[in-house]
């Protein structure tokens, strides 16, 4: 299976490389052909000028208007002929330069959009692979739990454990479907349903929920400020907190602590999600907010995901006229700062 996948990759890469090589060869040919035609035009123009000048000189000698070359070169007729020739020379040169600039610019733009398309296609393919896995594994888990409960007579504690397991997997599926629906909505038209949302209460609820779900993680909650209620979309803001916190846990590695802070800052509320986990490399910080983007390579990546979480965070925050900022945590890990304006809360 892996070999077949590797073979397919190799096939695509070879095909794409060949296509690029072919395109580059055509462009190189066009440039060489153009240079050749330009030089030829230059030489032909010069030949035509020489022939015309010679004809003019013979005529003027025959009419006995000039005695030597110096008089010919100084004559008005020659000067006029020379000016026309010189203008044509400049015209050919100018046209040539404009053509080359246009060609190079065109090639650059085509190449840029081609790279973007290839990157998007790769990300969408990665997304499809991971979404298939993300959907299949909880379904398989739920099925196994239900089959075991059905087939065997189990002690109560075992039955509860299996049921909890199935409920956990169902929650995972629900949050995945929610992410998919929200991201589809964000692509078309997401209009936040504004209502007063107390971010302090929301943060407390999330911390309590996750403390039960992940007892091994050390959660820290800080609330600071008299007014932590903003005008926002509860559904969207829940998704922001869910994605940031679940990510902090997912990418915790050998880290132990996830911090959630909600602070009043001037005319804004700052939500801060901190962890001492794997961290995000400097040059990836901007990219992780893009749709389907995941750090690293799909084959080597250990954690599963869709690359939708931070895209949703970024889009929802933008729809609230807020800002997302990613920093390194010291000594290790990541800090997500979400700055949200109060809006018109009465
Ligand atoms: P997903 O988690 O499904 O891959 P996200 O959009 O939520 O997609 O995140 C994009 C990428 O950003 C992840 O693949 C991960 O590499 C990185 N990332 C997000 N949050 C964290 C975090 N708290 N610590 C380290 N890396 C993170």
User: What CATH number did the domain enclosing 282 receive?
Assistant: 3.30.565.10
Is 334 part of a structural domain of the chain? yes
Is 134 part of a structural domain of the chain? no
Q: Decide which of 105, 126, 147 is a domain's last residue.
A: 126
What is this structure's pTM?
0.70
* Whether residue 40 is found in the same domain as residue 116: yes
Rounded distance from Cα 246 to ligand 1 centre (Å): 9
**170 vs 143: CA distance, rounded Å:** 11
* Whether residue 108 is found in the same domain as residue 215: no
| CA-to-CA separations, 265 to 138, 270, 277, 317, 345, in angstroms, rounded | 41, 6, 27, 16, 16
Burial pattern 27-40, b for ≥16 Cβ within 10 A else e, equals beeeeeeeeeebee
Is 180 part of a structural domain of the chain? no
Neighbours of 303 (CB within 10 A): 14
| CA-to-CA separations, 124 to 118, 296, 298, in angstroms, rounded | 10, 15, 12
Is 16 part of a structural domain of the chain? yes
Is 80 part of a structural domain of the chain? yes
User: Residue 191 has what pLDDT?
Assistant: 86
Is 11 part of a structural domain of the chain? yes
* Whether residue 216 is found in the same domain as residue 317: yes
Q: Decide which of 79, 101, 126 is a domain's last residue.
A: 126
Rounded distance from Cα 301 to ligand 1 centre (Å): 11
**For ligand 1, mutation pick of 275, 310, 337 (most atoms within 8 Å of CB):** 310
User: Residue 3 has what pLDDT?
Assistant: 53
Rounded distance from Cα 287 to ligand 1 centre (Å): 10
* Whether residue 255 is found in the same domain as residue 331: yes
Q: Decide which of 72, 95, 126 is a domain's last residue.
A: 126
Could you tell me how many residues make up the chain? 346
Ligand 1, atom nearest to 278 Cα: 25
Question: Which residues have CB under 6 Å of ligand 1?
Answer: 243, 247-248, 251, 275, 277-280, 288, 293-295, 305-311, 334
Residue in 171, 170, 172, 116 with CA at minimum distance from that of residue 292: 116
User: Residue 16 has what pLDDT?
Assistant: 67
Mention every residue, 6+ apart, whose C-beta is less than 8 A from residue 264: 224, 225, 226, 227, 228, 270
Residue in 116, 95, 93, 14 with CA at minimum distance from that of residue 46: 93
User: Residue 224 has what pLDDT?
Assistant: 94
- Digitized pLDDT (tens) for each residue of the chain, 346 residues in all: 445 555 665 666 666 677 778 888 888 898 888 889 988 998 999 999 999 999 999 999 999 888 899 999 999 999 999 999 999 999 988 988 898 899 889 889 988 998 888 888 887 887 788 788 888 989 999 999 999 999 988 899 999 999 999 998 998 899 889 888 898 888 887 889 999 999 999 999 999 999 998 999 999 999 999 899 999 999 999 999 999 999 999 999 999 999 999 999 988 999 999 999 999 999 899 899 998 888 875 544 667 788 899 999 999 999 999 999 999 999 999 999 999 999 865 4
* Whether residue 120 is found in the same domain as residue 36: yes
217 neighbors 257 (Cβ within 8 angstroms): yes
Is 184 part of a structural domain of the chain? no
* Whether residue 333 is found in the same domain as residue 213: yes
Domain of 209, in residue numbers: 194-341
Question: Judging by DSSP bridges, how do beta strands 229-233 and 194-198 pair with one another?
Answer: antiparallel
Nearest protein Cα to ligand 1, atom 14: 294
**159 vs 98: CA distance, rounded Å:** 77
3-state secondary structure 5-40: HHHHHHHHHHHHHHHHHHHHHHHHHHHHHHHHHHHH
In this structure, what token pair is assigned to residue 131? 């979404």
* Whether residue 119 is found in the same domain as residue 203: no
Is 135 part of a structural domain of the chain? no
Q: What is the DSSP letter of 337?
A: E
Neighbours of 160 (CB within 10 A): 11
Rounded distance from Cα 288 to ligand 1 centre (Å): 7
Angle at 196 between CA 191 and CA 198, to 5 degrees: 120
For the chain, what is the domain count?
A: 2
């Amino acid at each position: 299976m892996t070999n077949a996948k590797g073979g397919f990759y190799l096939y695509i890469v070879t095909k794409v490389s060949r296509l690029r090589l072919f395109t580059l060869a055509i462009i190189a040919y066009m440039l060489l052909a153009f240079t050749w035609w330009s030089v030829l035009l230059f030489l032909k123009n010069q030949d035509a000028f020489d022939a015309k000048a010679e004809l003019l000189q013979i005529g003027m000698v025959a009419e006995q208007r000039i005695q030597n070359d110096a008089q010919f070169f100084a004559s008005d007729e020659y000067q006029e002929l020379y000016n026309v020739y010189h203008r044509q020379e400049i015209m050919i040169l100018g046209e040539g330069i404009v053509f080359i600039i246009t060609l190079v610019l065109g090639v650059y733009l085509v190449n840029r959009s081609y790279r973007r398309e290839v990157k998007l296609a790769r990300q969408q393919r990665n997304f499809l692979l991971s979404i298939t896995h993300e959907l299949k594994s909880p379904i398989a888990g739920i099925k196994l739990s239900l089959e075991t409960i059905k087939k065997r007579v189990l002690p109560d504690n075992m039955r509860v454990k299996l049921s909890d397991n199935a409920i956990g997997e169902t929650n995972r599926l629900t949050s995945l479907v929610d992410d998919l629906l929200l991201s589809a909505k964000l692509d078309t038209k997401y209009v936040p349903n504004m209502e007063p949302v107390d971010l302090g209460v929301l943060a407390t609820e999330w911390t309590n929920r996750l403390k039960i779900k992940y007892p091994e993680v050390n959660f820290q909650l800080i609330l600071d400020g008299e007014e932590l209620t903003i005008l926002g979309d509860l559904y969207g803001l829940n998704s922001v907190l869910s994605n940031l916190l679940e990510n902090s846990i997912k990418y915790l590695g050998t880290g132990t602590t996830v911090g959630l802070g909600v602070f009043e800052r001037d005319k804004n509320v700052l939500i801060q999600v901190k962890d001492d986990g794997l961290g995000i490399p400097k040059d990836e910080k901007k990219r992780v907010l893009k749709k389907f983007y995941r750090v690293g390579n799909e084959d080597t990546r250990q954690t599963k995901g869709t690359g939708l979480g931070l895209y949703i965070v970024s889009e929802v925050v933008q729809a609230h006229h807020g800002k997302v900022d990613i920093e390194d945590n010291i000594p290790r890990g990541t800090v997500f700062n979400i700055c949200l304006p109060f809006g018109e809360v009465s």
